[in-house]
Amino acid sequence: MVLYGNAGGEHPDPIAPTRLTQLGSLVLMRPALYDFVASQAEYQARLDELYTWYQAGQINLDHLTMVPLAEVSSLHAALVERKVVGKAVLRV
């Protein structure tokens, strides 16, 4: 199991390592960005590459909710009610 973020809420703690073994040699990972990026310069280079892909239409953002800043309260309500799937972006 790999955990990315906590959008679904906190995960149960503690997770017993012996229980993971009993369920079939399961592994739990919690990756962090800066374990994979050595410096701020490398981070910026990767971000620039990602933005290039986005501009070229090579990234599909099917589950992106964009809301004008003036409607932030409606976005907040939707987030609280778990009606938002994927990323939420405020348009400024």
Tens of pLDDT, residue by residue over 1-18, are 666 666 666 666 677 777
The answer to whether the CB of 61 falls within 8 A of the CB of 89 is: no
pTM above 0.85, yes or no: no
Give 64's strand partners: 87
Tens digits of residue pLDDT in 44-72: 999 999 999 989 989 887 888 999 999 99
Q: Is the pLDDT of residue 90 over 80?
A: yes
pLDDT at 12: 64
Cβ contacts of 90 within 8 Å, gap of 6 or more: 66, 67, 68, 69, 72, 75
Q: Where are the domains of the chain?
A: 1-59, 61-92
The Cα 75–Cα 85 span in angstroms is 12
C-alpha 72 chain-centroid distance: 20
